[in-house]
Amino acid sequence: MYIFWIIPVFLILYIIRIIIGPSVWDRLLGMNLVATKVVIIIIAFASLYELTYLLDFAIVYEIFGFISTIFISLFLMERKKGGKK
């Protein structure tokens, strides 16, 4: 399938953005985008083999990438508030 060759190119471009991103929030945004792209690769893999139980991993991946992104951004916000005191 062509998805398997196009999505890794996007992933490499996102990772270059993560490396040169000037601030932390650029890197967090890149982390979120990488997680979404990888979910699409997982779905394509499961669709190639016609195995339904592989989709469980996609749901787990989406939810856990979301939780770590949100936790890091909440803690960054809290830090700035503590610095103002």
Residues 14-53 that bind another protein (CB under 8 A): 14-15, 17-19, 22-47, 49-53
Interface residues for another protein in 55-84 (CB under 8 A)?
A: 55-83
Least distance (Å) between residue 11 CB and another protein: 7
Least distance (Å) between residue 14 CB and another protein: 7
Least distance (Å) between residue 33 CB and another protein: 6
CB atoms within 10 A of CB 81: 8
Number of residues that bind another protein (CB under 8 A): 75
